[in-house]
């Protein structure tokens, strides 16, 4: 199979070829690796291949899973495969690998995915740009001078360029939606508790973190959530099952929806770039043309609230993870193994008191109640994902000395002002690739829904995809223009 032919398909499209015996899982894996070899030198999305895990899967023979034979990347943070390095893009964690699968990784395996490599991320996922000192920056395949987003930047760049059709991603403050926006792919952050973090954690960062994938098509993300959703044994979170599969929801037009939209940033955040405003207005008009009602409205959530919550949740969580790792390994945090802003967050987290954490939990509740009240009047809220198109590499330098925890959080949240709101509330939200700037940079739009209503998001996303397809819109650096 030629690389350019392989890159035409989404994940489920490749499955159809496998089921029809037009191509084998091994041929797909080898073609994916060839695409990585051709493209990764410039993009730097893939930080390592996983030949032993790939051969283990291929050696098992045919799978009954919904993603049989589909090449896949695991992010360097979050869900983990046994004995596959998960270094959190940190020099401190170099060489670390878990001895067991996380439950989500086990479900990825059961779905038939073939792991071919690991994707790049910022150190500990604490940035919206993937520029770790350990691995070097991931570049945007639409323009190599710009960020691919973070923290799932390697995943999004690999999918956008056609190295793999789907890749693992997770989101604690925008880390699925921001890179999806930057790279012109689809990314949905599920509802809190929809995916398991077991067996290692009950939840990630006080419930902020969610896991799924980034994909070129809506149906791939929907089918992947069908394949992997649900609690692990012993968990506290039990969400109601959807009335129909997420894949089926993505194939059906939604009911007439009441959609609020806003072209203004949250109070205290930078004003929206004109391209972001245009993206919102064009999308609102498209929704109206599709029969939905649109209203200009926004909840009363300030940038100060979002930054304070994220800082006071992320910092103690990071501090606890790093302290536990250092105690287990004997390693120590130092300037030559820990980036400057990671140190700032780590030190801030160590200094927090139990009463400070109670304060932030109370603020999380207050923000969530405001959003709950807003969504009593509207089915969805449409915003930009970011306040600007993808910035240039180097603007969001996580190794910049002198930045406080406050300063770093404000710097990254000023670019992703609309994202952390829904990590705080736990509501599902997605980035949909419907707009590009005149010079060819993607600008995603975000839709958020009520708690546990991914069905509504997938139904609208499928409708938008049918009305304004994006899968054939590919970056200049793409496997579609590369032959073996």
Residue 50 — φ and ψ, nearest 5°? -130, 65
Give Rg (Cα) of the chain: 21
Q: Are the CB atoms for 211 and 247 separated by under 8 Å? A: no
Residues 6+ apart with CB under 8 A from 42: 139, 144, 477
Nearest CA among 206, 207, 202 for reference residue 236: 202
On the CB side of 280, CA atoms within 13 Å amount to 29
| Rounded distance between C-alpha atoms, residue 444 and residue 337, angstroms | 34
Q: What is the dihedral of CA 14, 171, 233, 372, to 10 degrees?
A: -120
Q: Which of 323, 374, 366 is nearest to 345 (CA)?
A: 323
Strand pairing report for 258-261 and 380-384: parallel
**Cα gap 442→439, rounded to integer Å:** 9
Residue 470 CB partners (closer than 8 Å, separation 6+)? 184, 433, 434
**Kind of pairing, strands 442-449 and 380-384?**
antiparallel
Cβ-Cβ contacts under 8 Å for 97 (sequence gap 6 or more) = 80, 82, 83, 84, 85, 86
Residue 170: its H or E element: strand 166-171
**Pairing state between β 46-49 and 114-119:** antiparallel
Q: Which residues are catalytic?
A: 75, 151, 175
In contact, 17 and 6? CB cutoff 8 Å: no
3: its two tokens? 């690389």
Angle between helices 405-413 and 303-329 (to 10 degrees): 120
Q: Which two tokens stand for residue 26?
A: 């091994």
Cα separations (Å) of 53 from 9, 85, 144, 176?
A: 23, 11, 31, 25
């Amino acid at each position: 199979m030629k690389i350019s032919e392989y890159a035409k398909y989404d994940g489920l499209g490749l499955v159809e070829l496998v089921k029809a015996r037009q191509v084998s899982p091994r041929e797909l894996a080898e073609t994916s690796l060839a695409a990585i070899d051709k493209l990764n030198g410039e993009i730097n999305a893939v930080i390592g291949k996983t030949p032993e895990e790939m051969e283990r899967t291929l050696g098992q023979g045919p799978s009954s899973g919904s993603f049989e034979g589909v090449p896949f990347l695991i992010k360097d943070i979050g869900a983990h495969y046994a004995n596959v390095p998960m270094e959190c893009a940190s020099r401190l964690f170099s060489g670390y690998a878990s001895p067991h699968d996380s439950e989500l990784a086990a479900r990825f395996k059961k779905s038939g995915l073939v792991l071919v490599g690991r994707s790049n991320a910022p150190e500990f996922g604490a940035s919206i740009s993937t520029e770790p000192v350990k691995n070097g920056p991931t570049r945007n395949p639409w323009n190599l001078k710009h960020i691919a987003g973070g923290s799932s930047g390697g995943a999004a760049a690999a999918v956008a360029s056609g190295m793999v059709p789907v890749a693992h991603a997770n989101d604690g403050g925008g880390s699925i939606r921001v890179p999806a926006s930057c790279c012109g792919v689809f990314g949905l952050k599920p509802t809190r508790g929809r995916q398991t973090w077991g067996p290692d954690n009950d939840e990630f960062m006080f419930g902020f973190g969610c896991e799924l994938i980034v994909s070129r098509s809506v149906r791939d993300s929907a089918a992947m959530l069908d394949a992997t959703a649900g609690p692990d044994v012993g968990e506290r979170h039990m969400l109601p099952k959807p009335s129909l599969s997420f894949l089926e929801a993505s194939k059906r037009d939604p009911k007439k929806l009441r959609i609020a939209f806003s072209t203004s940033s949250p109070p205290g955040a930078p004003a929206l770039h004109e391209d972001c405003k245009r993206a919102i207005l064009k999308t609102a008009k498209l929704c109206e043309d599709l029969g939905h009602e649109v209203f200009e409205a926004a909840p009363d959530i300030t940038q100060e609230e979002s930054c304070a919550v994220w800082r006071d949740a992320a910092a103690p969580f990071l501090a606890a993870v790093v302290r536990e790792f250092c105690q287990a390994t004997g390693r120590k945090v130092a300037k030559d193994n820990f980036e400057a802003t990671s140190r700032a967050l780590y030190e801030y987290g160590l200094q927090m008191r139990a009463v400070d954490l109670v304060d932030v939990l109370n603020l999380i509740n207050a923000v969530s109640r405001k959003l709950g009240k807003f969504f009593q009047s509207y089915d969805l809220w449409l915003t930009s994902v970011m306040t600007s198109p993808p910035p240039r590499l180097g603007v969001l330098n996580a190794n910049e000395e002198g930045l406080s925890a406050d300063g770093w959080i404000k710097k990254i949240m000023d670019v992703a002002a609309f994202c952390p709101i829904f990590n705080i509330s736990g509501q599902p939200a997605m980035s949909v690739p419907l707009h590009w700037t005149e010079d060819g940079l993607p600008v995603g739009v975000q839709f958020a829904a009520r708690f546990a209503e991914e069905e509504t998001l997938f139904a609208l996303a499928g409708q938008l995809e049918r009305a304004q397809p994006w899968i054939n819109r590919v970056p200049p650096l793409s496997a579609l223009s590369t032959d073996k």
